[in-house]
C-alpha cells in the first residue's frame, strides 16, 4: 500500500505513459480526472468518485490555453500546484500529470478536435472555440492516459455531454462518468473562479442557483419554459448580476429546447457578476 505521501508528479507525456503502462501490466485499472487545478472540494469529490471505480487515479492539472478566448482570464486563472499536491496526496491519489504548455502543444502541432452543433450552443455561443479547446485537450489526455474511466463534474454539464459525444464518435475506449455538483451551504456551486468575487458579489452569487431552482419548480408544475427563462434572467439582473448570457430550460441529452415532461430536462444559466462569469445548472426533478 502506498502512503499518501507517495503521489508522483510527472510533467511529460512519456512519463505519464510509462507509469500507466506499468500499472496496466500488473493488471490494475486506471481512472483519470482532468482539471485545471486550484483544486476545491468539487474536484476532490471527482477524485473520490474515481477511487470507487479504479485501482489507480491520475489527476491532470493543466490550465489549457486553447479553451480561453483572447479576452478571457488565462493569464490570471488561479494556479496553486503546491496546494493541489497536498490535497491530492491526502486523498491517496497516485499520480499528478502537470505538463507545461509546450508539452501539450508543441509549436508544430496543428490538429484540433471539434464537436459541432452540441458544442456551438449555449457556452459555445458565448465562448467561441471553447469546446474545441476542451475537446482537443481531453482527447490528447485520454489517448495518453488510456483510462478505463474518466470523471467529469455535472457543474460543467455541456462539457460533460460534449466529451461523451467525442468519446463515442472517435471510439475512444474509456467510460465517461458524471459526478454531481458540490455546492456551498447557500447553494453557490464551488468554482475556482469564485476566488475572483468581492464580498458584495459573493453575497449576490447564490441567487444564480436559487433562480434555477425556482425555474425548475415552476416549469415542472406547468409554467412556460421560455417565459420562465426570461423572467429568471430579469431576476438575476435585479439581484445585481451585470450581464446574463442565458437562462434556459433544455433537453438534458441534446441541449435543444425542452419539449416537455416526456423528456429529461436541465435548467442552465451563465451570467456575469462584475468581472466574474458564473455558470450553473440543475436537473428538472
Ligand atoms: P476545472 O478545473 O474547472 O476545469 O474542472 C475540472 C473538473 O471538475 C470538471 O469536470 C468540472 O466539471 C469539475 N468541477 C468543477 N467544479 C465542480 C463542482 N462544484 N462540483 C463538482 N465538480 C466540479
Q: What does the pLDDT look like over 21-67, one tens digit per residue?
A: 999 999 999 999 999 999 999 999 999 999 999 999 999 999 999 99
**Per-domain boundaries in the chain:** 8-179, 192-283
Is there an atom of ligand 1 within 6 Å of 136 CB?
no
- The rounded Å distance from CA 249 to ligand 1 centre is 21
Name the residue of 39, 40, 46 to mutate for ligand 1: max ligand atoms within 8 A of Cβ: 46
Q: What is the helix (H) or strand (E) element at residue 12, kind and residue range?
A: none
Q: Is 42 in the pocket of ligand 1 (CB under 6 A)?
A: yes
Percent of the chain surpassing pLDDT 90: 98
User: Which residues have a Cβ under 8 Å from the Cβ of 100 and sit 6 or more positions away?
Assistant: 11
Q: Which three cell numbers stand for residue 274?
A: 462584475
Residues in contact with 260: Cβ distance below 8 Å, sequence separation at least 6, in sequence order: none
Determine whether the shortest distance from the Cβ of 229 to ligand 1 is under 6 A: no
Q: Is the pTM of this model over 0.95?
A: yes
Where residue 5 falls among pLDDT bands split at 50, 70, 90? low
Residues acting as catalytic residues: 43
The DSSP code for 178 is E
State the fold for domain 192-283: 3.30.1300
Return all residues near 253 (Cβ < 8 A) that are at least 6 apart.
161, 263, 264
The CATH class, in words, for 8-179 is: alpha beta
Rounded alpha-carbon distances, angstroms, from residue 235 to 45, 52, 204, 229, 247? 31, 40, 12, 10, 10
pLDDT surpasses 50 at 207: yes
Distance 220 CA to ligand 1 centre (A): 27
HSE-CB at 109 with a 13 A cutoff on CA atoms is 14
Structure confidence by residue, pLDDT tens digits, 209-224? 999 999 999 999 999 9
Cα Rg for the chain, rounded, in angstroms? Answer: 19
Amino acid at each position: 500500500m502506498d502512503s499518501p505521501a507517495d503521489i508522483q508528479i510527472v510533467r511529460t507525456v512519456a512519463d505519464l505513459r510509462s507509469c500507466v503502462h506499468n500499472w496496466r501490466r500488473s493488471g490494475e485499472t486506471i481512472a483519470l480526472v482532468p482539471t485545471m487545478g486550484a483544486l476545491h472540494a468539487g474536484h476532490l469529490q471527482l477524485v473520490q468518485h474515481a477511487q470507487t471505480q479504479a485501482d489507480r487515479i491520475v489527476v491532470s492539472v493543466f490550465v489549457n490555453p486553447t479553451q480561453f478566448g483572447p479576452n478571457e482570464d488565462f493569464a490570471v486563472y488561479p494556479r496553486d500546484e503546491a496546494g493541489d499536491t497536498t490535497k491530492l496526496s491526502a486523498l491517496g491519489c497516485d499520480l499528478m500529470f502537470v505538463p507545461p504548455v509546450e508539452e501539450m502543444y508543441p509549436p508544430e502541432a496543428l490538429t484540433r478536435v471539434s464537436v459541432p452543433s452540441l458544442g456551438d450552443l449555449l457556452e459555445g455561443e458565448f465562448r467561441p472555440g471553447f469546446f474545441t479547446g476542451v475537446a482537443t485537450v481531453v482527447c490528447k489526455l485520454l489517448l495518453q492516459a488510456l483510462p478505463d474511466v474518466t470523471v467529469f463534474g455535472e457543474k460543467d454539464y455541456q462539457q460533460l455531454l460534449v466529451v461523451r459525444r467525442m468519446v463515442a464518435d472517435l471510439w475512444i475506449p474509456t467510460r465517461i462518468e458524471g459526478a454531481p455538483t458540490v455546492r456551498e451551504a447557500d447553494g453557490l456551486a464551488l468554482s475556482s473562479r469564485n476566488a475572483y468575487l468581492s464580498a458584495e458579489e459573493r453575497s449576490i452569487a447564490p441567487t444564480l442557483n436559487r433562480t434555477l431552482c425556482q425555474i425548475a419548480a415552476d416549469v415542472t408544475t406547468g409554467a412556460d419554459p421560455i417565459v420562465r427563462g426570461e423572467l429568471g434572467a430579469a431576476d438575476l439582473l435585479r439581484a445585481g448580476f451585470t450581464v446574463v448570457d442565458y437562462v434556459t430550460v433544455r433537453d438534458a441529452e441534446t441541449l435543444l429546447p425542452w419539449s416537455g415532461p416526456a423528456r429529461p430536462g436541465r435548467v442552465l444559466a451563465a451570467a456575469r457578476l462584475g468581472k466574474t462569469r458564473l455558470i450553473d445548472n440543475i436537473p428538472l426533478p
